[in-house]
Amino acid sequence: MAKSALALFVLILALLCPMGALAEPQAVGQESKKEQPCAARQVLVVLLYDDSCKHACSIVRPIMEQMTKEFENNIRYVELNSAAAHLQESIKVAKSLGIPCFLSDGTDQVPLVAVFEPGKRRPKKELQGAKKPEVYRQAIESVLNGAK
C-alpha cells in the first residue's frame, strides 16, 4: 500500500514539475516548520532520510548539525523524512522550498544530502550515503563560493 501511494505521488510530481505549477522557493525552519524569510544568498542544504535508515542516517545527521553550526547564517538546513507516515509533511515542506521534484527523485536513495544554490530547484551537489565531514564541507563551500 505504501509503495503504491509513493508511486502515485512520484507520478503526480512528475506531471507537475515540468509545468512550473509549483510554489516559489520559501524557507522552512527545521524545528518549527514555520515559514520564515530566507536570505537571498543563503544556500539550502537538505537531508533526505527515512525512518528505516538507521546506521547511515545516524552517521550523517550529527555531521549535518555540525555543518549547520560551522556555516551559521550562510546555509538553511532542512531534513525531509521520506517514510510513508511522514511523506505528506515532507511534501508540504519540499513544495514551500520549491524543491518537490528533488523529494520525488530521491526517496529511494537515503540518506541523501543535497546542496542547492539560492533560488534553484535542482541541487548543485548531491551526496548519497554516509561521507566524511570534509566531503560535506567541500560541497557546501563549493556552492557557497559559486553563489557569491
DSSP string, 47-75: EEE-TT--HHHHHHHHHHHHHHHHHGGGE
Topology of 2-147 in CATH?
Glutaredoxin (3.40.30)
pTM of the predicted protein model: 0.74
Alpha helices in the chain (DSSP H): 2-16, 55-71, 87-97, 100-106, 133-147
Domains of the chain: which residue ranges? Answer: 2-147
**3-state SS, residue 11:** helix
Q: What is the pLDDT of residue 25?
A: 33
Under-70 pLDDT residues of the chain: 1-40, 147-148
